[in-house]
Amino acid sequence: MRAAARAAGAIMARELARFLSQRERFLAALVRPLVWLFVFAAGFRAALGMSIIPPYRTYIPYETYIAPGLCGMILLFSAMQSALSLVNDRESGTMRLMLTAPWPRWFLLGAKLLAGALVGLVQVAVFLGIGWLYGIHLPPMGYLAALPALMLSGLMLGSLGLLLSARVRQLENFAGVMNFVIFPMFFLSSALYPIWKMQEASPWLAWICRLNPFTHAVELIRFSLHLQGNALSLAVTAGATAVFFALALWGYEPARTRAPRGE
């Protein structure tokens, strides 16, 4: 048990050290949501006015509404960055060396996944601190209640990134795949506007938003921050995490990770 803990700790320490040494990555992770919070929120607020969060029908400022969605944005970009590092590790041979360790494949990849989720959680904590200074004051206990939701959402998005890294073998191809995944997932969700607003514009788009697992991750974070439960979002997020991770494990089987001849 101690040996397993040391192995997992070493993997997570390596990922955290890599993140802390890449200051540009940390700043870039904060600039994106802060631009949405400080600049674009003004225009959206003028168009939407106040937003409503069911089930308790409380009117809140638009900046407060999108804060959980921007937390989801941070976790999404952090997960894709972690997946990008996995592709880089595969090209450099580090991943192959790690997977030859005398531990189950699920354990090694799970430790990488947990490390990536923790990195995203650190970035979200800094963002929420800046948001509090900006005037986004959520229930104090909501920050604690949201920790499990943030961790589960980070694991779900990290599992998706792990799955993509198992399928995309070359670093230069992964950047295009990231954009293809990130932007549809983010914009076709409830991160920036309520689904009932989308329903008024297009029932088809609202239907797609409801099917998007990122929507449920954002709603889980949003409801947790307001000390509310959301069983459907919890079930969908947990189920998507299990499915993505299982598919990633299947994709990282030795017979599938071996590069073809001539590559």
How does DSSP assign 86-155, residue by residue? HHHHHHHTHHHHHHTSSS-HHHHHHHHHHHHHHHHHHHHHHHHHHHHHHT----HHHHHHHHHHHHHHHH
Does 180 fall in a domain? yes
Does 18 fall in a domain? yes
Tokens 């959520």 appear where? Answer: 138
Mean pLDDT for 92-109 is: 71
What pLDDT score was predicted for residue 148? 95
Q: How many domains does the chain have?
A: 1
Does 261 fall in a domain? no
Query: Which pTM value belongs to this model?
Result: 0.84
Note the Cα 10 to chain centre separation in Å: 23
Does 33 fall in a domain? yes
What pLDDT score was predicted for residue 256? 52
What pLDDT score was predicted for residue 129? 92
DSSP letters for 185-222:
HHHSSSSSS-HHHHHHH-HHHHHHHHH-HHHHHHHHHH
Does 263 fall in a domain? no
Does 142 fall in a domain? yes
Does 246 fall in a domain? yes
165-172 long-range contacts, Cβ below 8 Å, gap at least 24? 165/83, 165/84, 165/86, 165/87, 165/90, 165/248, 166/247, 166/248, 166/251, 166/252, 166/256, 166/257, 167/251, 168/87, 169/87, 169/90, 169/259, 169/263, 170/87, 170/91, 171/84, 171/87, 171/88, 171/91
Rounded distance between C-alpha atoms, residue 161 and residue 245, angstroms: 9
Q: Which domain holds residue 167?
A: 2-256
**Structure token pair of residue 92:** 């450099």
What pLDDT score was predicted for residue 151? 95
Does 222 fall in a domain? yes
107 Cβ neighbours under 8 A, 6+ residues apart: 4, 7, 8
- Tell me: pLDDT of 259 over 80: no
Mean pLDDT for 18-29 is: 71
**pLDDT tens-digit series, residues 42-76:** 666 665 555 555 444 566 777 888 889 999 999 99
